[in-house]
Structure 1
Amino acid sequence: MTSIYSRIEHARTADAVVRQIEGLILQGVLRDGDRLPGERELAAEMNVSRPILRDALKALEARGLLVSRQGGGTHVANIVGEVFAPPMRELIATHPKATADYLEYRREVEAVAAEMAARRATPADKALLADIVARMEHAHAAADFDAEAEIDVEFHNAVGECAHNFVLLHTLRSCYRLLADGVFVSRARIYDLPGAREELLAQHRAIFHAIRDGDPAAARAAAVAHIAYMEKKSAEAERTGEWERIATLRLRQRAGQRKPNRRPAAAGS
């Protein structure tokens, strides 16, 4: 497998190593939690001495970009982090209006991301998207909901990567973390709605095809249509859940009213 690290031919200093690893993190090639190769291997791949590499890794760790784990090597730190603190995440999870606002935000940002991706995606980007869609189709055919939902998030992250805009990429990653962490429980309900899984798969294919074909207008339209569908179905799922809750309460109440009244037992009986 070809290394993501390139040889440093000139100015073999710790600063040169730092700049290369910084670039890989900024470009989204290295993600949160990714493990770097061992010291000997990485020094050889970058064509620098091990003391220079150690100095570079220490500098990156001091800046919070890398973290060393005892016996576990060096990893990219959690630099994206959470979008909101835990108390706010709990509020978001329990208020339907937050879901609507989240989808409204995604509709606008993902439209831009898809349009940029259609203009800028490289052959390697398109190959990555094609692989993700193929795995999504396989999970769909196998009725593997957990895998399908996980690949859904991966697909949208990949579209953000194809846009080749660092700020947009990391903003979207932090946004999608709410999805991956299950903050929006209504997302699971959407998959349970009749025909929703088939429609969502078709929408992801449409976004991919537009990016693959280099059609910015179609990519934007497909992204907007996808989120508009999510908005509609999210509201429908919320209504369905609320209707089911009320219907269950009515059923319990009526069942209780149908119980025969028992007469008090006579004294001495």
Structure 2
Amino acid sequence: MSDIFSRIEHSRTADEVVQQIESLILEGVLRAGDRLPGEREMAKQFDVSRPILRDALKTLEARGLMVTRHGGGTYVADVIGEVFSKPVMELIVNHRKAAADYLEYRREIEGLAAEYAAQRATAEDLALLDGIVARMEAAHRRADPAEEGAIDVEFHHAVGECAHNIILLHTLRSCYRLLSDGVFTNRLVVFTVSGTRDVLLEQHKAIHRAVVAGDPAAARKAAMDHITYLERAMAEAERSGDWQRISRLRLRQRTDSTETSRKS
């Protein structure tokens, strides 16, 4: 995390340091769990005295944006993406309609994010996106559903960052937080359905191509088509799972009945 902080040009106060770090958190440059550089290095980057830096870090910690671990440094607190409280998350887990509503919401918001990304992505954004897609293709070749699922979320995170809209960015992060926290535990089942992995890879590449080409309409359509496909695939995976469960119960029941008949 070298050189992400800018030299403070005018009034070198703790407030200026606080404002800059807050902006980096809002813009998604600093993420939850990121460790800040040492005090000496940070003071040098900001070009402020160490007492001023300490005051700034204390203010950020008091606001719940930083946490200091004894002997272990200062970290960005896990506050971004906490739009859904724990009771609400438990409600979502326990009501199946919530999964459908979640995907319906994601279809619209990810369509918007992809559209903005195609309009606003910088060369650096596109380089980051290129790297993620390359890793996605490598994971696909290895046929590792867990890795593919993790990179899938990372890809959508990156598209949201390319949109350069703070509110959209953190709204999306709250959505993906539900995935990373395991609220929708059946999401990885989609990667095990025959043929689905190939389709998902191509859909992600279509979003990527549209963003790189700077085509907002195509990017929006590709993102929305992707979620529509996910809706169908998850429904199919769930239905197949129900069929398998019923088949197992039927087989067990008939096997038990046969064993009982033999004994009598």
TM-score, L = length of structure 2: 0.95
Aligned letter for 1:213? A
Q: In structure 1, what is the Cα distance between the partners aligned to 2:85 and 2:242?
A: 28
Worse-matched range after superposition: 62-71 or 212-221? 62-71
Measured against aligned partners, the alpha-carbon deviations of 1:202-239 in whole angstroms (never above 9, x if no partner) come to 01000011001100000000001100000000110111
- Percent identity, aligned pairs only? 65
How far did residue 94 of structure 1 move?
Answer: 4.2
Check conservation: 1:8, 1:47, Cα contact below 8 A.
Answer: yes
Pairing 1:1-269 to 2, within 5 Å after superposition: 3-259=3-259, 260-263=261-264
How far did residue 95 of structure 1 move?
Answer: 3.5
How far did residue 66 of structure 1 move?
Answer: 1.0
List structure 1 segments (4+ residues) > 4 angstroms apart after TM superposition: none
Q: In structure 2, what is the Cα distance between the partners aligned to 1:95 and 1:237?
A: 18
Q: In structure 1, what is the Cα distance between the partners aligned to 2:29 and 2:232?
A: 34
Secondary structure of 1:225's partner?
Answer: helix
Q: In structure 1, what is the Cα distance between the partners aligned to 2:3 and 2:250?
A: 63
Q: In structure 2, what is the Cα distance between the partners aligned to 1:251 and 1:94?
A: 29
Q: Which residue of 2 aligns with 1:267?
A: none
CA RMSD, Structure 1 to Structure 2 (Å)? 1.4
Aligned letter for 1:155? F
Q: In structure 1, what is the Cα distance between the partners aligned to 2:86 and 2:2?
A: 40
Q: In structure 1, what is the Cα distance between the partners aligned to 2:239 and 2:211?
A: 34
Q: In structure 1, what is the Cα distance between the partners aligned to 2:263 and 2:11?
A: 94
How far did residue 68 of structure 1 move?
Answer: 0.8
Check conservation: 1:125, 1:162, Cα contact below 8 A.
Answer: yes
Aligned residues: 263
Measured against aligned partners, the alpha-carbon deviations of 1:165-188 in whole angstroms (never above 9, x if no partner) come to 100101110110111122212211
How far did residue 92 of structure 1 move?
Answer: 2.6
How far did residue 145 of structure 1 move?
Answer: 2.1
Q: Residues 78 and 2 from structure 1, CA distance in 2 versus in 1: closer, same or farther, beyond 3 angstroms? A: closer
How far did residue 140 of structure 1 move?
Answer: 0.9
Q: Which runs of 5+ in 2 are unaligned?
A: none
Q: Which runs of 5+ in 1 are unaligned?
A: 264-269
Which of the pair has more CA radius of gyration? 1
Q: In structure 2, what is the Cα distance between the partners aligned to 1:256 and 1:62?
A: 63
Secondary structure of 1:89's partner?
Answer: helix
Q: In structure 1, what is the Cα distance between the partners aligned to 2:18 and 2:84?
A: 29
Q: Residues 69 and 2 from structure 1, CA distance in 2 versus in 1: closer, same or farther, beyond 3 angstroms? A: closer
